[in-house]
Chains A and B, each alone.
Chain A
C-alpha cells in the first residue's frame, strides 16, 4: 500500500509542478504585460506585415514569434491576451464555482423540493447547446468583458451543480453525517463543517477545470467576434484573425492556439494534481 501510494505521489508531483510552472508564467505574463512585451500590441506597421518567427528565413530581429498581416507583434499580443484570459479564468471560474457548488450542496443535502427545483433547472439548462446559448446571451447582454463573464457563469453553473450534488448525496449517506445528527448538530453546521470539507477536493478540481473552460469559452466568443472590443488583444480574436491568412502566415494562428492549449491543459492538470496531493483520503 505504501509503495502504491508513493508512486502516485511522485507522478502527481511532476504533473503538479509542470502545470504550476506554466500557470505561473501565464499569470506573470498577464500581470507584467506592459513591461515585458517587446512591442506595443496595437502598433501597426504595414512595412513589417506577416514577418515569420525569429528562426525562419526573412525574420526581423526583435519579432520573436513574427507579426500578423497588420504588422503587429504576435508575442506582444499573446502576452497582452493573457490579461483577458486571466481575468476571465479567475472571475468567471470562481463565480461559476460559487453559484453551482452552493446549489449542488443545497440540493444534495436538503433534498425535497429544493432538490427537485434545482435538478429540474439543471435538466432544462443542459438541453441548451452551450455555445449557441452563450451567443444568444451576449446578443442580449451586449458585448464586453462583464457580459462574457456573466454568460460563462449563467451557462456553466450546472457543471458544478451536478457533480457537487452527486458527491454531497454520497457523503450524506456516510455514518459520520449520521453521527453528527445524533450529536445534536444543526443541519447547516453538518453541511458546512462535515460534508463540505469532503466535497472540497472535488470542487477544487472542478474549479481549475472550469477556469480552463472559461478561457476556451472566451476564445470561442472572441472567435465569433462577440467578446471584447477588437482593440484589446485576445487569444480567440488572434485565432480568428489568423484563420484568414493561415496559408501565408500560419504563426499568427498557431502561437495563440498553443498558448490557449497549454493554459487550458495546465488548469486541468493543476486541479487534479492538487487533489491528489492534498486530499487526505487520497481517493
Chain B
C-alpha cells in the first residue's frame, strides 16, 4: 500500500558551507496516520516539514532523494505546479500563533482567501466553510471573530484559528511545526486534543514536528527520531515507549522530566551516547557540528 507522503533518501545541505542538514531521510506517512518527528534543536525535524511544504530557505539545497506527495514527485514538477499541488493538498499549522496571522488583515479573509484564490471556491461557499471550521474548533461567535484583527484575540484563540484555517480546505496532509511550543501549558493540552480530534474526524495525515516526547505519546501513531539530520530510529509509538531500540532514543526518553517523581533530577543525554550517535551518523563528514542547525 502506498503512503500519502513518501520521502525517500532525502539529503540536503547548506549551499554556502556545504554543511549537511539532512542525511538520506526515509519517512512514509499513510493517509490518515500521524507521525511524530522528534530530535533536539538543529536535528533537522523542522527542515523536513519545510521540504515537504516546499518552503525551504533559499540557502538550503536538496542534493538527492525524492518527496512524493500523493504519488507525485515534488522535485520533478515546475515551481508553479509545486506551489499549486502543495496548496491544494497540504497545509501548515505554524509554531507561533502571534506572528502566523497577518496583523493588518481581518481574520475572515485570512481563512477564505486561500479557498477562493487557490481552490477556486465561490466567496459565499468559502465564508460558509470558514464559519463551519471556526465552530469546529470551538470558537464562540465565529461571525464576529471573522471581522476582528489578530491582535484582538488571545494566543490560544489565534492558534485555534490557525488550526481551523489549516483544516478549512480539507487537506490530505497537515504539517504541524511545534504547534504548542509558543503556548501556555494549560492551553497546550486543549490545543493538542483539538488537533487530535480534528485529525481523526477528517482522516488527515499529520506530520507532527516536536521536541516533546510527552506530546508524541498523546498524538502520534509512529515516530522518527532524528539526530544530526539522520533518522536514527523509525518505530511505532507503543514500541518506542516500551523499548526504544537505539541508544540515543533511550537516552532521549530517559531525559524526559517525570512529573510523577518531582524529587528525581533531570537526566541529560550522556556524552558517550551523543558521541556514539554522532560517529554513527556523520561518518567521514567534517562539516558536522553539534547544534549547527539552521532555522528557516
Contacts and interface: CB of A to CB of B under 8 A. Distances in A.
A111 B58 CA distance: 11
A181 B94 CA distance: 12
Interface stretch (B27-35, B97-105, B135-143, B207-215): B97-105
Contact of B94 (A179, A184, A194, A282): A179
B88 A184 contact: yes
B151 interface: yes
Given A184-B88, A185-B117, A179 B103 contact: no
A176 interface: yes
B102 A185 contact: no
A182 B99 contact: no
B117 A189 contact: yes
Interface residues of B, number: 31
A183 B85 CA distance: 10
Contact of A182 (B84, B86, B102): B86
A185 B118 contact: yes
Interface in A237-283: 280-282
Contact of A197 (B88, B100, B105): B105
Contacts of B100: 174-176, 178-179
Contacts of B296: 178
A186 to B, nearest CB: 8
Interface in B248-296: 296
A200 interface: yes
A198 interface: yes
A175 B94 contact: yes
Contacts, number: 71
Chain B CB within 10 A, most for which of A186, A280, A282 = A280
Interface string B59-100: 000000000000000000000000110111011101110011
A127 to B, nearest CB: 30
A interface, over-half SS = helix
B114 interface: yes
B5 interface: no
Contacts of A280: 103-104, 149, 151
Chain B CB within 10 A, most for which of A111, A178, A198 = A178
A198 B113 CA distance: 17
Interface string A171-211: 00011101101111110010001100110100000000000
A113 to B, nearest CB: 13
Chain B CB within 10 A, most for which of A176, A179, A189 = A179
B99 A174 contact: yes
| The 3 A-B residue pairs with the shortest CB-CB distance in the complex, in nearest-first order | A184-B87, A197-B104, A175-B100
Interface of A: 111, 174-176, 178-179, 181-186, 189, 193-194, 197-198, 200, 280-282
10 contacts: A176-B103, A178-B94, A183-B118, A185-B113, A194-B102, A197-B105, A198-B103, A200-B104, A280-B103, A281-B103
